[in-house]
Amino acid sequence: MPPIVEKTGPNASGNGQHLDLNGNVFELPSFTMKEIHDAIPAHCFKPSILRSMAYVVRDYFYTSVLIYLAVTYIPLLPNAYLRFAAWVAYTTVQGFVFTGIWILAHECGHGAFSKSKKLNYTMGLIMHSFLLVPFHSWRLSHSQHHKSTGNMDKDTAFVPHTRDSWVKRNLGDKAQQNLVGLAELAEDSPIVSLWNDIIHQLFGWPGYLLFNLTGQHYDGAKGMKISHFYFGEDSVFYKKSELGLILLSDVGVAVMIAGLVVAGQVFGSWNVIVLWGVPWLWVNNWIVAITFLQHTDGSMPHYNNKTWSFARGATATIDRDLGFIDTHLFHDIIGTHVCHHLVSTIPFYHAAEASVHIKKVMGQHYKADTKTPFWTAFWRNQRTCKFVEESEGQEGSGVYMFRNLYNRPGQTRPRNLITGEKKPFDVSEGLKTATATATASATAMSMASARNLDARRRLSQSAQLRANLPLLAEG
């Protein structure tokens, strides 16, 4: 049953209520985890080794058949255009299958594959190493994500920016001296957004594993300390007792890389790139897109450590729909993610049934968007869910909702951003004034050879002075 919410209008200022980005009143979940567990049929908690292994065999069978068809028949096509189209089709479909293998390893990491820890760890190591993922390293940090989902202080993945950190990321530490609207205007540009999305989708996943992108800051720790591949005692992720498993995970990845090198020498590097490398890039795309949309939406709350609870955090996620691709190839990870966060040990093949029962307990707190096409939702949320802040009148509540700097129709505007102003700053009006100057400045900037941060700051400040706009308040 969809949540019943009170619409407050596009320019609602809060009136002492938590408002999501779309102007809907958000209420804190009130159900208990015991109610959730009691509502789920007992058999949903029981994985089947035979059934789980059958899915592994099926997915690797798909992989083998696709490779056989590609190397046997694509070279026989009569012209280059047909061959190119066939290779595109192959890499796309193989990317779906590879992603399904990643998700099966994900089941192993949660103990949902079987009741046997040894089997879970063995199969997870094999399947994730095949995709260059350090299994135990990811398993341990991902466990922390599930324990702290939606917690601004402790979550480990897709931790959103606060308003202050978002501004500083875009304009530097002296952000109060710059025109924030200009930065938002540039970032919201479709071309800039598309470019950022492409880079994010292709390299965001390995970037997270290597450099902890979108993760916690860990008091500014840098270098190898924040890498999932690091097994030193000063790692920010792992305990001393876990370092042997991290090393084992690295060995698994190294063995796969060595296998790819040997395959390149035997079958040709180009064949390995097309048959394995491009589908692997598709895996990167799907893992980032799926995870992003599971935890980023205008209706999604985040909490500070004081307000957070497991039940609240577990419901700070949303179900979506990708049709046959999700239900057959992605093992329903998109359509049953709320259930997965509430009880992550439920096997994916029981998650749909369990979801029916937990919805009855959750009521309006269950969130799903099955009407918006997957990539439409992705594009929209990338451009509108910029940072989180508390609703006006709810300062200190520890409940944060997504905001952006535009007063788009139907959206809740951010709190007062301007020093000395009692009324919220209408950013859209400021942007109307600054658009011509900002566009000209941005064009000049793109033609300049020195695109460094200082130049960006000078550009923003110059545009601000010419547009006669107020300065951004600190914090």
DSSP string, 74-95: GGGSSSHHHHHHHHHHHHHHHH
Residue 228 and residue 138 in contact, taking contact as beta carbons nearer than 8 Å: yes
Helices (H), 40-78: 49-73
CA 150, CA 140: separation in Å to the nearest integer?
Answer: 17
Residue 364 and residue 136 in contact, taking contact as beta carbons nearer than 8 Å: no
Domain ranges of the chain: 1-159+214-415
Per-residue pLDDT of the chain (475 residues; tens, 9 = 90+): 333 333 444 344 445 799 999 999 999 998 999 999 999 999 999 999 999 999 999 999 999 999 999 999 999 999 999 999 999 999 999 999 999 999 999 999 999 999 999 999 999 999 999 999 999 999 999 999 999 999 999 998 888 988 888 777 766 666 554 455 555 555 566 777 777 778 778 888 888 888 887 777 777 777 888 898 999 988 988 999 999 999 999 999 999 999 999 999 999 999 999 999 999 999 999 999 999 999 999 999 999 999 999 999 999 999 999 999 999 999 999 999 999 999 999 999 999 999 999 999 999 999 999 999 999 999 999 989 989 999 999 999 999 999 988 767 889 988 765 433 434 444 444 444 334 434 434 443 443 333 344 434 433 333 333 333 333 333 3
Residue 231 and residue 250 in contact, taking contact as beta carbons nearer than 8 Å: yes
H or E, element range at 320 = strand 319-320
132, 226, 228, 250, 256 from 141: Cα distances, Å: 16, 11, 8, 15, 22
Q: Three-state SS across 355-385?
A: HHHHHHHHHHHCCEECCCCHHHHHHHHHHHC
H or E, element range at 400 = strand 399-403
Q: Which residues pair with 401 in a beta bridge?
A: 301, 389
pTM of the model: 0.81
